[in-house]
């Protein structure tokens, strides 16, 4: 059987505020509720690509390097995560979901999508997820500062980084459609 080449896609949201004052925590802290998981799973179903949630992968393999008492969350061992994924990424056809991006080798991804959600909506989503106090405030503040694209643009070539609105179910549908089409075209062009 001939293996078809498939692209690797990163779905992310980059929370610069965390990086600014607590760099390590950018990688370990919950999920920001912008719709990466929902979009990633939907895309995997439609394209046949494999969805990988870094938070779950770390939990399953205990790819941690300590525990952060202040924020009550484990600290991700970035090297172990990268080692764990290396072979799969080399094969291609992986959708990675994570709220950060500069831990991954640049060569891994053919395209990067940075999801954006309006603050009020984000607040409600995170509240309904049980976030409260500092964790809720800090998450939402990251969005207020609107520096979300910065890290992705620093880590990857500008032309592969795309910003997508993720406020409504219609956005979700449109984003899915757009990425499915892009994926099909990529596969055609590379096989
Ligand atoms: P993340 O993976 O970024 O943390 P999730 O995919 O878990 O985000 O989504 C967080 C919540 O927001 C879920 O309840 C989901 O149903 C909802 N949601 C996701 N995308 C959208 C969207 N485009 N419009 C409205 N609600 C959404």
The pLDDT of residue 28 is above 50:
no
The per-residue pLDDT for 53 is 94
CA pair distance 106, 165, nearest whole angstrom: 24
Across 11-25, 62-76, 134-148, which has the greatest mean pLDDT? 62-76
Residue 13 CA, closest ligand 1 atom number: 3
Question: Residue 145 is encoded by which pair of tokens?
Answer: 């500062």
Tens-digit pLDDT profile for residues 149-175: 666 777 888 899 898 988 899 999 999
**Listed range (5-9, 24-28, 59-63) with the worst mean pLDDT:** 24-28
Q: Is the CB of 12 under 6 A from ligand 1?
A: no
Question: Residue 21 is encoded by which pair of tokens?
Answer: 């004052």
Across 64-68, 129-133, 141-145, which has the greatest mean pLDDT? 64-68
Q: Comparing 190 with 122, which gets the higher pLDDT?
A: 190
User: Phi/psi of residue 137, each to 5°?
Assistant: -60, -50
Contacts 24+ apart (CB under 8 A), 62-71: 68/24, 68/25, 68/28, 71/25, 71/28, 71/29, 71/134, 71/135
- Print burial letters for 149-183: b (CB count within 10 Å at least 16), e (below 16): bebbbebbeeeebbebbbbeeebbeebbeebbebb
The pLDDT of residue 109 is above 50:
yes
Q: Is the CB of 166 under 6 A from ligand 1?
A: yes
The pLDDT of residue 118 is above 50:
yes
pTM of this structure:
0.85
State the distance from the centre of ligand 1 to the C-alpha of 73, rounded, in angstroms. 21
Q: What is the rounded average pLDDT of the residues 73-100? A: 92
Q: Is the CB of 174 under 6 A from ligand 1?
A: no
Q: Is the CB of 6 under 6 A from ligand 1?
A: no
Q: Is the CB of 37 under 6 A from ligand 1?
A: yes
The per-residue pLDDT for 22 is 36
């Amino acid at each position: 059987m001939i293996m078809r080449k498939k692209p690797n896609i990163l779905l992310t949201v980059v929370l610069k505020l965390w990086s600014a004052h607590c760099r390590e925590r950018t990688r370990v802290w919950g999920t920001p509720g912008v719709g990466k998981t929902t979009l990633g799973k939907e895309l995997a179903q439609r394209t046949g690509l494999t969805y990988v949630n870094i938070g779950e992968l770390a939990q399953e393999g205990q790819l941690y390097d300590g525990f952060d008492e202040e924020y009550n969350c484990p600290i991700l061992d970035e090297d172990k995560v990268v080692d764990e994924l290396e072979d799969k990424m080399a094969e291609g056809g992986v959708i990675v979901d994570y709220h950060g991006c500069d831990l991954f080798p640049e060569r891994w991804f053919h395209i990067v999508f940075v999801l954006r959600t309006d603050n009020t909506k984000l607040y409600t989503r995170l509240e309904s997820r049980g976030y409260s106090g500092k964790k809720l405030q800090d998450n939402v503040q990251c969005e207020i500062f609107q520096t979300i694209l910065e890290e992705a643009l620093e880590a990857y070539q500008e032309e592969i980084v795309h910003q997508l609105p993720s406020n409504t179910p219609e956005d979700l549908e449109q984003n899915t459609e757009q990425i499915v089409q892009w994926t099909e075209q990529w596969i055609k062009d590379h096989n």
